[in-house]
Structure 1
């Protein structure tokens, strides 16, 4: 790490809570819409629950495939998505811009 003078703290764009949950990628959608794509997985081999929080303001949220095809709408409350993942399960979510 390289120290930077005069820099202020920056809040993370995405955070996850829950035993064994890991954010593996955060990127913009491939269609250049400005939507945010977040991939999260369960890393310990056990079923787990937690929350994924997004710091920006987004509209609807949907689960998508690895090639970003829609799968299902996901319930979100103020940028917070409740997660329930099985052992080693991977979930990819798309946060649509308002």
Structure 2
């Protein structure tokens, strides 16, 4: 099981992106799920940073139920789809929330 206390942080580039919570995935896979949102009613951009035991992990966006399907007309928050978690870029609309799933590469 990964160290859930390992650092997951956002580097704000624009606006007010916030990490709401971080937890282990419900399916017992050992993946980590993080919920993020834009808090100030404006567009936001940020870069994801991970460290410790999460170094080298990948990130992808999921729906709120931690499934890979997206809801119709739901804007993506993660730019570029599944990729390395370190340095992944996010773009959020006003008050948008997004769910990210981090997995071992």
Q: Tell me by how many angstroms 1:79 deviates.
A: 1.8
Bigger mean CA deviation after superposition, 80-89 or 54-63: 54-63
Q: Tell me by how many angstroms 1:77 deviates.
A: 4.1
Aligned match of 1:14: 8
Q: Which has the larger radius of gyration?
A: 1
Structure 2 gaps, min length 5: 71-79
Question: What pairs up with 1:30-45 in 2 under 5 angstroms?
Answer: 30-45=26-41
Aligned match of 1:92: 99
- Provide the TM-score with structure 1 as the length reference: 0.77
Alpha-carbon RMSD: 2.2
Question: What pairs up with 1:13-92 in 2 under 5 angstroms?
Answer: 13-18=7-12, 19-55=15-51, 56-71=54-69, 74-77=81-84, 79-92=86-99
Query: How many residues align structurally?
Result: 88
Maintained 8 Å contact 2:42/2:93 = yes
**Which portions of structure 1, spanning 4 or more consecutive aligned residues, are displaced by more than 6 angstroms?**
none
> Aligned with 1:84: secondary structure?
strand
Bigger mean CA deviation after superposition, 32-41 or 58-67: 58-67
- Provide the TM-score with structure 2 as the length reference: 0.72
